[in-house]
Amino acid sequence: MNTIIKLFRRGYELLVASGNILQSPLLLVLRVYFFWQLFMTGHGHLANIGKVSDFFVSLGIPFPMLNAYLSSSVECFGSLLLIVGLASRLTAIPVAITMAVAYLTADLEAVTSIFSDPDKFVKADPFPYFICALIVLVFGPGRFSIDALIKSKLGDLRQAGTERSRGGWGSVAPRKFKAQY
């Protein structure tokens, strides 16, 4: 019986290790695939800002031209930042908010029927971008990102600074902080 438990435990540990290895590649694929689509949408909206503004007027959105530029810019430039993984968690916030507003204005029926007809909510246009923005906000962009590269370089600089400070008279090692990517 003890051998069976050890075997299951070892199998589960392998499953968790495999999942950990695949986490960053999956985050990269999600970022590139979905945010490239959102970038193209935002680029198209910026190129046809008058049509977007007219659509916002039909939805009753206040300051339609300003909001058209704002949402289109978030879609276009926020997506680029998310694709490369720069300031990812910070950038995911306005993208998620923009998609939530899109739900509440253009797809309100999908939101109100989230429990009675969940397919309608999941099939709405903002869903993949909203969920991916939330995933990046919660989990970060992963190892394959500029954020991870910056974190790595900051760690190298901190390490080098700590080693230099140990050699001098009266030197104090710098305070460590945990940077999240």
* Domains identified in the chain, total number: 1
Q: Could you report the per-residue pLDDT of 12-30, keeping only the tens digit for each?
A: 999 999 999 999 999 999 9
What is the pLDDT, as a whole number, of residue 171? 46
Q: Residue 104: inside a domain, yes or no? A: yes
Vertex 81, ends 44 and 104: CA angle to 5°?
A: 60
Q: Residue 30: inside a domain, yes or no? A: yes
Residue 136 in this model has a pLDDT that exceeds 90: yes
Whole-prediction pTM value? 0.82
Which residues span the domain enclosing 104? 24-163
- Amino acid at residue number 125: D
Q: Residue 172: inside a domain, yes or no? A: no
Least confident of 3-7, 36-40, 156-160, 168-172: 168-172
Q: Could you report the per-residue pLDDT of 45-96, keeping only the tens digit for each?
A: 999 999 999 999 999 999 999 999 999 999 999 999 999 999 999 999 999 9
Q: Could you report the per-residue pLDDT of 108-134, keeping only the tens digit for each?
A: 999 999 999 999 999 999 999 999 999
What is the pLDDT, as a whole number, of residue 157? 77
Residue 80 main-chain phi, psi, to 5 deg? -60, -45
Residue 176 in this model has a pLDDT that exceeds 90: no
Q: Residue 175: inside a domain, yes or no? A: no
* Tokens, residue 70: 């704002």
